[in-house]
Structure 1
Amino acid sequence: MSDLSFQPDEAEIERRVEALLFAAAAPLSALDLARRLPEGTDVSAALMALKARYADRGVRLECVADRWRFATAPDLAFLMTDRREEPRRLSKAALETLAIIAYHQPCTRAEIESVRGVSLSRGTLDLLLEMGFVRLRGRRRTPGRPVTYATADRFLEHFGLAGLSDLPGLQDMRAAGLLDFAAPAGFDVPQPGGPDAPEEDPLDPEDLAPEFAQDFVGRDEG
């Protein structure tokens, strides 16, 4: 039985954080951890210490979508003989749509179509919603009150991003050969949810009805 008067030192706090993360069924936020530790515990310091300690091990501590988890070191992925490929693959149209939402969120269907330059199949958005990459965020305060879309935590987890601020910027894209170095003057990569984002209203319960996530996997986009 533990002594409630015992005040753990830094090493003991690290042990407790390590145990909580190891036993958790899903990634934990710093707040989740703080709720299980003595009041006033410096959770961030413990996480940074554990991250450094596991940096060169077979598993490492990583932060995805502001939540922490242990994961296999990327260079040892070849050892995972039990791996399975994702049963569904995103089409070019779906990847383009996902990229537009990631950088322009929150955005409406009309705004997605304006950036792509072509109309968008209803099935593309439904598939992204069903796979958990995209979520319904709100309704724009404009005539017709169109629904807006944003990325979900699954998007960050799938691409290994701690947050939207880690999306590749202009220089990253140029270095990867995704943008021409002769891009027009003043060209820049949009920042998701920037200060100029239009105001929105919360979703109504009926907006989350099942028809928003119907399966259109078998349909082709024109």
Structure 2
Amino acid sequence: MADQTAQRKENAHSGLLDTELEHLPPELRWREWMGRVEAVIFAASTPVTRETLARVVGKHCNIEMIIDDIRADLSGRPYELVSVAGGWQHRTKKAFGDVIRTASGQAESARPLSQLEALVLMCIAYFQPITRGELSSFFGKEVSRDLIRVLRSQDLIASGPRSPQPGAPYTYVTTKAFLSHFGFDTLRDLPDFEALEDAGLLSKEKLLTGDIPTGLPAHHLEDEVPSNA
């Protein structure tokens, strides 16, 4: 016990954070880890990764179980912990979107994507990296620079690697903001394109004519915003 006390004093003197908390009984240690994890996520403006959270808890701490317990504590609150873009983030629940917009003086949410913009975004998400020329060939008509600019202005897509095609045109890829916007943790959370085709729920022909939903959730970031925004 004396050795542990001496170690804690040494860590405090050197500015090192005591992550193991071996001087605490298991229940209090767990509650302290929960508090640390929630504080780090709450203070961050972007999703917090596992690697970041691992810096403030013990090496044998199960972060998923910590997150589950925090979510249970937040039950019934207007905000929650969500898993997006490879990390975790505090967000207010969608049901309070109108309340937040009214309080902030926003008359209405940001303009939703048009059908064509949503379809182009869907194609980029599934077939990235992809050039504007390839998108135009896919749809059988030009995908304009203005349309690409709309998606870029909302930080939904970014420039990818240069294509090996003649002229080395830019390709486009989705961003972490895209994942966060639509509530995906990774691109693996996208509906399986081939499975949708095999089930007869999706076809390239329907996609090109715009006769299908995009497969992307229809909510917007303003409906579910970081709680520390």
Per the shorter chain, which TM-score range?
0.5 to 0.7
Amino acid at match of 2:117: A
Give how far 1:171 is off.
9.8
Q: 1:26 aligns with which of 42, 46, 49?
A: 46
Correspondence list, 1:84-95, <5 A: 84=106, 85-95=108-118
List runs of 5+ in structure 1 lacking aligned partners.
184-222
Correspondence list, 1:150-189, <5 A: 150-169=173-192, 179=202
Amino acid at match of 1:75: A
For 1:93 and 1:155, the matched residues in 2 are separated by 17
Q: How many aligned residue pairs are there?
A: 178
List runs of 5+ in structure 2 lacking aligned partners.
1-7, 12-17, 207-229
Identical pairs, percent = 32
More helix by share: 2
Does residue 1:140 correspond to 2:163, yes or no?
A: yes
1:161–1:55 distance in 2 versus 1, CA, 3 Å: farther
Is the CA contact 1:105–1:150 (under 8 Å) kept in the aligned structure 2?
Answer: yes
Counterpart in 1 of 2:80? Answer: 60
For 1:100 and 1:151, the matched residues in 2 are separated by 10
Give how far 1:77 is off.
3.5
For 1:103 and 1:126, the matched residues in 2 are separated by 19
Q: Pairwise CA RMSD of aligned residues? A: 3.1
Is the CA contact 2:33–2:56 (under 8 Å) kept in the aligned structure 1?
Answer: no
1:135–1:62 distance in 2 versus 1, CA, 3 Å: same
Q: TM-score, normalised by structure 2?
A: 0.65
For 2:193 and 2:46, the matched residues in 1 are separated by 33
For 2:110 and 2:63, the matched residues in 1 are separated by 38
For 2:157 and 2:70, the matched residues in 1 are separated by 32
1:16–1:160 distance in 2 versus 1, CA, 3 Å: same
Is the CA contact 2:124–2:130 (under 8 Å) kept in the aligned structure 1?
Answer: yes
Counterpart in 2 of 1:97? Answer: 120
For 1:32 and 1:161, the matched residues in 2 are separated by 20
Amino acid at match of 1:82: A
Is the deviation greater in 164-173 or in 116-125?
Answer: 164-173
Give how far 1:88 is off.
4.2
Is the deviation greater in 108-117 or in 52-61?
Answer: 52-61
For 2:124 and 2:193, the matched residues in 1 are separated by 17
Give how far 1:179 is off.
4.2
For 1:110 and 1:171, the matched residues in 2 are separated by 23
Counterpart in 1 of 2:89? Answer: 69
Is the CA contact 2:37–2:56 (under 8 Å) kept in the aligned structure 1?
Answer: no
Give how far 1:50 is off.
1.9
1:173–1:71 distance in 2 versus 1, CA, 3 Å: farther
Counterpart in 2 of 1:106? Answer: 129
For 2:193 and 2:174, the matched residues in 1 are separated by 20
Is the CA contact 2:36–2:56 (under 8 Å) kept in the aligned structure 1?
Answer: no
Is the CA contact 1:101–1:151 (under 8 Å) kept in the aligned structure 2?
Answer: yes
Amino acid at match of 1:156: L
For 2:189 and 2:44, the matched residues in 1 are separated by 25
Larger Rg: 2
For 2:188 and 2:76, the matched residues in 1 are separated by 25
